[in-house]
């Protein structure tokens, strides 16, 4: 991980939803290291949320934790109000929270139940928060300080991938990516809206996946490795920086470069259900 020699987010306030672990935690740490005060959000993994907060405390980063169930529209509204009330403004909002349907007890749910969870958290909450937060940011924006919203898509969403995983994550993450570009059009020029589209990232699911998916992840990337949470966090930090003020309505794939072929013979073993698109 590159050590920053400057704090380009000094004086900024950032919100990272789903910051209890994985990409969310790495993003909170990255933005804090760049100088931002960070409002952390979590729901079920409260131990993880506290771990993220302790990490920021050790870095002497000003932070606050808010617990909210983003599948409920009222909770989304309360989170937004708490965020703007904390320091009277929000400069960076990262909609990272996503439903985990790949690990734990939720992995045993039926297709329809998984789809509903992804819709409620990954799609609906992102749209509701993005729209409401964007309106507040639009009012606070100045010519010298444009706030930014960053959403999380998936690099394979629009091309498609086989199996139930593809039929779950491709439509939901495509919706997030499409919404990001629509919101950018709506809020321009006062607020920037961008989206990162992670590829094969070693989060909780990737740590315990099968040999099939491990081989596929490393083979499909031109970097011949899994991505790490900090790879995505670095891209988010880049898009949040005032130095990228002219980047707007973009979708940035974070996958180490994607190979131009997809030959199933490359992979050994049978295809299981799950694919990696977690946060």
Q: Which two tokens stand for residue 253?
A: 């794939």
Q: What is the pLDDT of residue 275?
A: 46
Q: Where are the domains of the chain?
A: 13-266
Q: For the chain, what is the HEC assignment?
A: CCCCCCCCCCCCEEEECCCCCHHHHHHHHHHHHCCCEEEEEECCCHHHHHHHHHHHHHCCCCEEEEECCCCCHHHHHHHHHHHHHHHCCCCEEEECCCCCCCCHHHHHCCHHHHHHHHHHHHHHHHHHHHHHHHHHHHHHCECCECCEEEEECCCCCCCCCCHHHHHHHHHHHHHHHHHHHHHHHHHCCCCEEEEEEECCECCHHHHCCCHHHHHHHHHHECCCCCECHHHHHHHHHHHHCHHHCCCCCCEEEECCCECCCCCHHHCCCCCCCCCCCCC
Q: What is the pLDDT of residue 279?
A: 53
Q: What is the pLDDT of residue 213?
A: 79
Q: What is the pLDDT of residue 261?
A: 60
CATH number of 13-266: 3.40.50.720
Q: What is the pLDDT of residue 173?
A: 98
Q: What is the pTM of this model?
A: 0.90
- Report how far residue 126's alpha carbon sits from residue 43's, in angstroms, rounded to the nearest whole number: 15
Taking the chain (279 residues) in runs of 10, the rounded mean pLDDT of each run is: 69 98 97 98 97 97 98 98 98 97 91 97 98 98 92 92 91 98 98 96 77 86 93 98 97 91 49 47
């Amino acid at each position: 991980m590159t050590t920053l020699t400057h704090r380009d987010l000094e004086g900024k306030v950032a919100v990272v939803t789903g910051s209890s672990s994985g990409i969310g935690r790495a993003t909170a740490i990255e933005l804090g290291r760049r100088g931002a005060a960070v409002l952390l959000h979590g729901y079920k993994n409260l131990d993880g949320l506290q771990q993220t907060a302790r990490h920021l405390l050790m870095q002497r980063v000003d932070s606050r934790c808010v617990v909210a169930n983003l599948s409920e529209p009222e909770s989304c509204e309360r989170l937004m109000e708490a965020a703007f009330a904390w320091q009277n403004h929000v400069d960076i909002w990262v909609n990272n929270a996503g439903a985990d349907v790949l690990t734990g007890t939720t992995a045993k749910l039926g297709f329809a139940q998984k789809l509903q969870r992804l819709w409620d958290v990954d799609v609906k909450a992102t749209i509701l928060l993005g729209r409401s937060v964007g309106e507040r940011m639009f009012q606070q924006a100045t010519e010298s300080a444009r706030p930014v919203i960053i959403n999380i898509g998936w690099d394979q969403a629009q091309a498609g991938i086989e199996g139930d995983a593809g039929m779950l994550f491709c439509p939901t993450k495509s919706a997030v990516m499409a919404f990001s570009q629509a919101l950018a059009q709506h809020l321009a020029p006062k607020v920037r809206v961008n989206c990162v589209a992670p590829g094969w990232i070693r989060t909780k699911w990737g740590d315990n996946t099968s040999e099939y998916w491990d081989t596929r992840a490393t083979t499909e990337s031109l970097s011949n490795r899994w991505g790490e949470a900090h790879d995505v966090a670095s891209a988010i930090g880049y898009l949040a920086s005032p130095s990228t003020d002219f980047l707007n309505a973009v979708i940035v794939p974070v996958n180490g470069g994607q190979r131009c072929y997809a030959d199933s013979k490359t992979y050994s073993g049978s295809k299981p259900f799950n694919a990696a698109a977690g946060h």
